[in-house]
């Protein structure tokens, strides 16, 4: 007898489960052979309660029929999750949800992959509104067609929060107001519509109970909630990843939101040019996120006066204006990933406690920061391109005195410049007192200079012996190299004595000094200059190679301007290649102006090597030394080349 009862019970349960096959992807688990558990989490309600099982019993009201209905016999569940809702089964969904009247235990409902028409969607909402459900999540909604006006009944509801994500409207011809007014007039505390390409939202028709609005990742613009005075209880507004452009219009939007405390406008297209445009923020606003926009220094002219926490990360701010309006309540400021060159002062932020200025362009932070910002408890200044120099020593000493207020120390504080210290942590960077004490260094240098002056004053000041010795030695080396060349082998292939490489900014010296003195002076010198010898129609690179190959020498006019020219770099590269491929001494370096080593970019390693290993002619500033300079240069390019059409050097048609 017991075996028969057990068999009948199992068969009865099997028939019940079979009757529920229209609910696809529903989470089912059998408890005590009679119960099914369906659950999901609800991020909007913030509840940490345990999700209970949904005890449902399948019964047969008419023993002669094969269709079964679900009847709630013990309602202790809190969460229910269903998916694959279509027009074909929406009636059964509504019938199921109708069992959960106000007072039942069901509080959280999630529907996923909903593809229904407007009437069916409204019927679902209306049923939920008059149930015990408080938190309603609906994901991946496709509203098929027939959007029209509907007189929604908001009365007698338990609803607190609605979350809709990935909503797609396929109906192309309908009134936008018919759609948006359903949501704008909802009498709930929290509304989220995200990832749905929503272009607008109406202002509620009466004072709204909304406390929380989240319109993340839509297509909303500056037109949203303009002149809307019905959101008087709204405290949190999230408009991240939309298409807002005007910061003053955003401020005007908030001006009538009397309770607004938090506003997220990150990842929009916000700008503010500061052109006499007044900003009117809600006085209650204390937290503002403006990160990942297009804001510049002018943003500090358009900020809420009572703001406590401000995020301006990832914008285009270069400095904090000193004349800005004082933000007396500001405690947290995030300026990471901007273009700041120094730590901002606290003249406008008298209550500042936390400052994030990571990933900017700060080489040497001001050492007096904590003196002007006495209330700052934490400074995040790591991941900047620090220049390890004497000035940085003061900042490093400041860290030792700050009592651990530098966040991320020491790992996030690393030398970027100079190159030989790149990667060194600031805590490991040290310079001697002599190197950084200017007074001590000057006194030491002065004493050494006085000793040296007594020995070499006459030679250095009156005879300038070192300069003449250096120039004579360079001239001797040039002549020696010229004697080892074989002009007879090159006369058949070479057309120019020298190809001139120079920066366009040094062209006046080349045209007024170099070319006239070589082509019209003693000796027949033919120079190849890009302005007159480059062949039209050929690429610049090809012209450079041809001119270098057809020239006996290559003259490089070196100056700070030279190292800034990309084409000069190319010309030096090809000439250097010829130097090694032909095993010749074909380079002549003229130092027009001194070049500090730190000015030469890292990519000019060939130039650094050449200047370190090869002699070069230095252009003298004294006119009395010019004759010796030109003599040395002519000797360096001295070679007989065949003349075309019997012309003499310097002749023109």
What's the mean pLDDT in 504-519? Answer: 85
Sequence-ordered strand ranges (E) for 176-293: 190-194, 212-214, 236-238, 262-264, 287-289
Position 167 pLDDT exceeds 60: yes
**Helix (H) and strand (E) counts in the chain:** 18, 24
Q: For the residues 410-415, what does the mean pLDDT come to?
A: 90
Encoding tokens for residue 564? Answer: 């800034």
Mean pLDDT of 211-237: 95
Residue 578 is predicted with a pLDDT of 60
Question: If you average pLDDT over residues 132-143, what whole number do you get?
Answer: 92
- At 484, the pLDDT band (50, 70, 90 cuts) reads low
At 262 the three-state DSSP class reads: strand
List CB contacts of 451: < 8 A, sequence separation 6 or more.
none
Tell me the pLDDT tens digit for each residue of 100-125: 887 788 899 999 999 999 999 999 99
Q: At what angle do helices 540-549 and 566-581 cross, to 10 degrees?
A: 40
- How do the residues of the chain divide into helix, strand and coil, expressed in percent and rounded to 5? 35, 15, 50
Q: Which two tokens stand for residue 606?
A: 């060939």
In 195-285, the DSSP E strands lie at: 212-214, 236-238, 262-264
The residue that leads in pLDDT, 3 or 471, is: 3
- 476: Cβ contacts below 8 Å, ≥ 6 apart: none
CA–CA distance, 27 with 39 (Å, rounded to integer): 7
pLDDT band, very low/low/confident/very high, at 479 (cuts 50, 70, 90):
very low
Q: Of 81, 90, 84, which Cα lies nearest the Cα of 117?
A: 90
**The predicted structure's pLDDT at residue 198:** 92
Q: What is the mean pLDDT of residues 591-612?
A: 72
Map residue 244 onto helix, strand or coil. Answer: coil
CA distances from 470 to 341, 627, 629 (A): 43, 15, 11
Q: What are residue 239's phi and psi, to 5 degrees?
A: -125, 35
Return the pLDDT at 604: 64
Query: Alpha-carbon distance 414 to 60, whole Å?
Result: 76
The predicted pLDDT at position 33 comes to: 26
Q: What is the pLDDT of residue 43?
A: 39
**Rounded Cα distance, 619 and 440, in Å:** 35
| Span 325-347, pLDDT tens digits | 789 999 999 999 999 998 888 88
Amino acid 582: pLDDT: 56
Nearest-angstrom CA–CA distance, 176 and 541? 61
Tokens of 152: 């929604």
Q: What pLDDT score does 521 carry? A: 61
Tell which wins on pLDDT, 28 or 284. 284
């Amino acid at each position: 007898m017991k075996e028969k009862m057990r068999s009948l019970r199992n068969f009865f349960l099997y028939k019940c489960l079979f009757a529920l096959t229209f609910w696809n992807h529903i989470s089912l688990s059998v408890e005590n052979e009679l119960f099914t558990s369906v659950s999901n989490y609800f991020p909007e309600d913030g509840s940490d309660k345990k999700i209970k099982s949904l005890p449902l019993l399948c019964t047969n009201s008419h023993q002669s029929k094969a269709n079964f209905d679900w009847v709630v016999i013990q309602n202790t569940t809190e969460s229910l999750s269903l998916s694959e809702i279509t027009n074909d089964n929406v009636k059964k969904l509504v019938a199921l949800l109708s069992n959960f009247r106000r007072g039942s235990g069901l509080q959280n409902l999630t529907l996923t992959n909903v593809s229904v028409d407007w009437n069916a969607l409204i019927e679902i909402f209306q049923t939920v509104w008059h149930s015990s459900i408080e938190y309603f999540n609906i994901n991946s909604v496709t509203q098929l067609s027939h959007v029209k006006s509907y007189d929604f009944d908001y009365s007698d509801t338990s609803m607190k929060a609605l979350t809709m994500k990935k909503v797609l409207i396929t109906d192309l011809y309908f009134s936008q107001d018919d759609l948006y007014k359903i949501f704008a007039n909802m009498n709930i505390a929290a509304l989220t519509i995200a990832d749905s390409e929503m272009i607008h939202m109406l202002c509620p028709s009466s004072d709204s109970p909304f406390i929380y609005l989240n319109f993340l990742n839509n297509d909303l613009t500056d037109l949203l909630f303009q002149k809307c005075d019905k959101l008087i209880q709204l405290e949190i507004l999230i408009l991240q990843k939309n298409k807002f452009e005007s910061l003053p219009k955003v401020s005007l939007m908030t001006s009538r939101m009397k309770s607004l405390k938090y506003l997220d406008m990150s990842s929009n297209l916000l700008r503010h040019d500061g052109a006499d445009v007044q900003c009117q923020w809600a006085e209650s606003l204390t937290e503002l996120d403006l990160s990942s926009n297009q804001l510049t220094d002018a943003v500090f002219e358009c900020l809420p006066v009572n703001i406590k926490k401000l995020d301006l990360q990832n914008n285009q701010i270069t400095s904090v204006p000193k004349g800005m309006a004082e933000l007396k309540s500001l405690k947290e400021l995030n300026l990471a990933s901007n273009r700041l060159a120094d730590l901002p002062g606290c003249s406008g932020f008298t209550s500042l406690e936390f400052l994030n200025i990571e990933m900017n362009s700060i080489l040497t932070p001001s050492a007096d920061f904590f003196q002007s910002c006495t209330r700052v408890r934490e400074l995040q200044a790591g991941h900047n391109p620090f220049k390890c120099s004497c000035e940085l020593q003061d900042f490093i000493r400041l860290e030792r005195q700050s009592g651990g207020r530098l966040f991320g120390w020491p790992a996030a504080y690393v030398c970027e410049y100079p190159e030989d210290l790149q990667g060194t942590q600031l805590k490991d960077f040290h310079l001697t007192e002599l190197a950084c004490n200017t007074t001590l260094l000057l006194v030491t240098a002065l004493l050494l200079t006085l000793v040296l002056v007594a020995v070499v004053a006459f030679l250095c000041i009156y005879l300038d012996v070192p300069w003449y010795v250096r120039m004579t030695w360079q001239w001797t080396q040039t002549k020696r190299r010229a004697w080892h060349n074989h002009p007879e082998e090159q006369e058949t292939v070479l057309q120019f004595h020298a190809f001139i490489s120079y920066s366009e900014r040094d062209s006046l010296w080349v045209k007024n000094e170099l070319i006239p003195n070589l082509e019209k002076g003693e000796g027949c010198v033919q120079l190849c200059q890009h302005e007159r010898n480059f062949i039209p129609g050929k690429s610049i690179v090809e012209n450079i190679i041809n001119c270098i190959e057809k020239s006996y020498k290559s003259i490089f006019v070196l100056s700070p301007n030279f190292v800034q020219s990309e084409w000069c770099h190319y010309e030096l590269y090809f000439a250097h290649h010829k130097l090694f491929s032909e095993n010749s001494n074909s380079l002549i370096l003229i130092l027009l102006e001194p070049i500090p080593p730190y000015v030469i970019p890292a990519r000019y390693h060939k130039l650094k090597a050449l200047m370190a290993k090869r002699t070069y002619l230095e252009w003298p500033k004294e006119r009395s030394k010019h004759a010796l300079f030109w003599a040395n240069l002519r000797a360096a390019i001295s070679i007989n080349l065949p003349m075309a059409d019997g012309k003499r050097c310097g002749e023109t048609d």
